[in-house]
A and B are shown apart, each in its own frame.
Chain A
Amino acid sequence: MLTADQQLINEDAMSRNRMVRRLGVIGLWLNPVFSYFFLWAPILVLVLFSFNQSRSVASFTGFTLRWYGNILNNVMGAESAFSTELMLNAFRNSLFVGTVATAISTVLGTMIALSMARGKYKGKRLLDALLFFPVVIPEITQAISLAIFFKVVFDWLALISGERIFPGFHTIIAAHVTFNISFVAIVVRARLADMNPQLEEAANDLGANPWQTFWLVTFPLILPGVISGALLAFTLSLDDFVITFFTSGVGTTTLPVFVYGLLKLTVTPEVNAISTIMMVLSTFFIGISLTIQGRAVARA
């Protein structure tokens, strides 16, 4: 039997626990409500005001497609440096840079991943570090280090050859490949770690030469990883602003750098409309690429 005092203490503790539990349950439901509002409100407001009749973003006065029309017809506020042609050109530049940088970084990333998974040599921890640092280094540090590097190299080349090279696609692509390699290597290594190495031994025992073993056994098995890595690299490349901003030259503006020029100016309904279009397009592209990736993984 419990004494009266003990019973009192127990009841006290239980009521306190009931309170904690009630607070926990309330918190666990209030938090998502707040969080999803926080995550989605800015995007919904941006889309909403791209259809607003007045130029103000303080209140919604009515629906119009005028701002979208203005973009297509090249009519924007006098203060903006916008032209549809320039934007499409920037988009083309982005696709070009993204494609070339993805191709190079996928090859380089896959090579180092294969080498580290199957090669027998010392110093792999050093290679781990070499692949790890580009992922964690602040973007702006990498951006200025590449900017200074290109400047030093081009100054030096101008000195010995008398011809000056200017930053352009080559510098942007070189920079993008540099930050993409690690991501490709990480994704491909994860795939290789899941693979059964005995399959390669079996191919070898059945008389396949190393070249045949690679193309007929290893490569098809890691292909989903390679595709995932390439899509990740392409997405990062299309999305990058900071590093491109520091390594691009005249006439090689990519879409994010172009958009940054617009966003730095004041808030206008046309910019809201452009942002909305870009949002829809990038969501569509990433959705498609993830679907392809999902299929590739499922098939393997």
Chain B
Amino acid sequence: MTTWLARKRESGFLLAVPTIAWLLILFVLPLVIVLIVSFMSRGRGGVAIMPFTIEHYQRTLGIFSIILWRSIGLAALTTLVCLVIGYPLAFFISTRRNRLFQQVTLFLVILPFWTNFLIRTYAWRILLGDEGTINGFLLSLGLIDDPLPMLNTQFAVLVGLVYGFLPFMVLPIYASVERFNFRYVDAAYDLGANDLRAFLRVVLPLTLPGVLAGCALVFIPSVGAFVTPDLLGGAKGLMIGNLINNQFGGSGNMPLGSALSIVMMAVVMLSLLVYLLANRRDRGA
């Protein structure tokens, strides 16, 4: 094939060189530097100095492991809650017969997310605060005597994360269910399956790619969340993202921040690997 690009063998590659160079310098190289810095000592003002040490990894996996596990736990819980809310919602949307109604219900999921993430998170401060809307409502009804402490807790972070990432769960599942052929369900009924069996053995396995994609898309940004715990979590809801951020302030520790980032990235890569393997097995089956 002699098209405009493939005429000369190397010309096709040359076109990619500027972009490759950009990404090598501004994406790969900075990560390599972070890796190196994570093994260096902390100097005056939090900067990295020689000699090399593994001290920061010991601290990350030692005293900071509580926060690491909290981040992983909160991200896993966020994924689970998003799945429990998102699957039936996606199922509801994609099984609407009326095309217009279907588009409206889908649009109503997407529209709130055209607003900046910061503002959507801030809105929960209004709702969850001690003098916030939910407490105000419950107090006025006389259901409680003192405000429920909701803001600056892990609960607030969970709510904020679910709110922030729910569409990432709904949209891939919606796409899966949309493609699902409901004649398979009829076939399952004909072969004697009841509703539960038809769902568990036919619908769920065939929409699993959407579920897996949704879980990966929710879990990954949740582990590294910084804005949500920062605005809603306070000291009790601190996540690893905040801990990393704190290492880059006035009395910070750049090498420690780098080590925390590397460990967090390892968690993300591991979960991505699990996703890719699960997806491959699912396709193979």
Contacts and interface: CB of A to CB of B under 8 A. Distances in A.
B202 to A, nearest CB: 14
Contacts of A16: 194
Interface in A122-175: 127, 130-131, 133-134, 136-142, 144-149, 152, 174-175
Nearest to A139: B224
Contact of B195 (A24, A42, A137): A24
B226 interface: yes
Residue from B10, B34, B124 whose CB has the most chain A CB atoms within 10 Å: B34
B144 interface: no
B94 to A, nearest CB: 12
Nearest to B4: A210
A138 B223 contact: yes
B184 interface: no
Contact of B194 (A17, A112, A174): A17
B133 interface: yes
Residue from B6, B24, B114, B115 whose CB has the most chain A CB atoms within 10 Å: B115
B261 A141 contact: yes
A263 B12 contact: no
B22 A178 contact: yes
Contact of A138 (B33, B108, B127, B220): B220
A21 interface: yes
B248 to A, nearest CB: 6
B62 to A, nearest CB: 21
Contact of B92 (A31, A42, A116): A31
Given A56-B136, A141-B261, A181-B23, A43 B123 contact: yes
Interface stretch (B13-21, B50-58, B171-179): B13-21
B5 A210 contact: yes
Contact of A108 (B22, B33, B220, B245): B22
B123 A46 contact: yes
Given A42-B123, A197-B3, A275-B122, A134 B116 contact: no
A246 B245 CA distance: 9
A20 interface: yes
Contacts of B223: 138
Interface residues of A, number: 92
Contacts of B245: 140
Given A27-B88, A139-B221, A201-B2, A256 B127 contact: no
B193 to A, nearest CB: 10
A109 B136 CA distance: 50
Contacts of A283: 111, 114-115
Interface string B20-33: 10111011111101
A4 to B, nearest CB: 21
Contact of A42 (B12, B14, B124): B124
Contacts, number: 270
A205 B45 CA distance: 66
A32 B89 contact: yes
B5 A20 contact: no
A185 B16 CA distance: 11
A185 B15 CA distance: 13
B3 A241 contact: no
Interface in A103-117: 108-109, 111-112, 114-116
Interface string B119-155: 1111111110101110111011000000000000000
A43 B115 CA distance: 9
B2 A20 contact: no
A149 B30 contact: yes
B241 A140 contact: yes
Interface stretch (A33-41, A82-90, A220-228): A33-41
B252 to A, nearest CB: 10
A136 B268 contact: yes
Given A137-B265, A241-B118, A13 B108 contact: no
6 contacts: A57-B132, A111-B15, A111-B16, A204-B4, A272-B126, A275-B122
Q: List the 3 closest pairs (A to B, CB-CB), nearest first.
A: A119-B12, A58-B136, A138-B224
Interface of B: 1-7, 9-16, 18-20, 22-24, 26-31, 33-34, 37, 85, 88-89, 91-93, 105, 108-109, 111-112, 114-127, 129, 131-133, 135-137, 139-140, 163, 166, 194-196, 199, 220-221, 223-224, 226-227, 230-231, 241, 244-245, 248, 254, 257-258, 261, 264-265, 268, 272
Interface of A: 13, 16-17, 20-21, 24, 27-29, 31-32, 34-36, 38-43, 45-46, 49, 56-59, 108-109, 111-112, 114-116, 118-121, 127, 130-131, 133-134, 136-142, 144-149, 152, 174-175, 177-178, 181, 185, 197, 200-201, 204, 209-211, 213-214, 218, 239, 241-242, 246, 256, 259-260, 263-264, 267, 271-272, 275, 278-279, 282-283, 286-287
